[in-house]
Homo-oligomer: A and B are copies of this chain.
Amino acid sequence: MIDNWHQTGVALRAPSKKAKQRAASLEQILDAAEIVFARRGHDGGTIQDVAKECDVHTSLIHYYFRNKEALFESVFRRRADVTSERRMAALEQYERTAGEHPSVEGALRAFLDADFDLYCQGGPQWMAFAAFCARLGHTPEGATLVDEQFNPVVLKLIGILKRALPDLSEQDVFWGFHFVTGALLHSLCNTGRLDHLSAGLCRSDDFEAIKARMANFMAAGFRALRSREM
């Protein structure tokens, strides 16, 4: 929240009580929807669930958001720009420091860590957003939304990867990225499967552990594809 209204000469009105109320309600509803849709998916989560979660009446949700689709998309849009801009900035920053010879691992680290840090340190709502996006990412309908939002950043990453791996075919770069995406989305989903499987040795919500391993693991994978071609 930026309160620039009392320092500009242009007499921007102070936010009225109603404006504040409105903003607060919008946020409450979006927070609740984020949690509900992250937990139960687009089809499993209902407007009634959302209403219960934030203790308002369903009609208020329709008052602020035309319909379920609009609510769903608003949940995505509220944070989508933040994440893609952060990733883009991290990639550009990495490009500058790496200069002529970027490394696969460096590029992946920039791309992935920007995200993981946000989800780890951003509190439970960002965590819910992560799961929300992950579910979105592996439905065919959701894929369109995700594509539009993240393709620019992803293509940026792929560009750097190509320069880091000049002797790798373009297909292999895409397939490698496909594996990275899968592992990332599965991690963000946080299904708890690994917890059972490892008998508690690993917790699937331990994003720090994932962050510490993933770029490293995947970078080696890309390099191995290269040797496969020869």
**Residues of chain A whose beta carbon lies under 8 Å from any beta carbon of chain B:** 39-44, 134-135, 137-140, 142-143, 146-147, 151, 154-155, 158, 170-172, 174-179, 181-187, 189-194, 196-198, 201-202, 204, 209-210, 213-214, 216-225, 228
Contacts and interface: CB of A to CB of B under 8 A. Distances in A.
Contacts of A174: 194, 197-198, 201-202
Given A43-B40, A138-B138, A201-B170, A143 B193 contact: yes
A209 to B, nearest CB: 7
B175 A213 contact: yes
A75 to B, nearest CB: 17
A228 B198 CA distance: 21
Contact of A217 (B142, B143, B179): B179
Given A43-B40, A171-B201, A196-B147, A176 B138 contact: no
B228 A224 contact: no
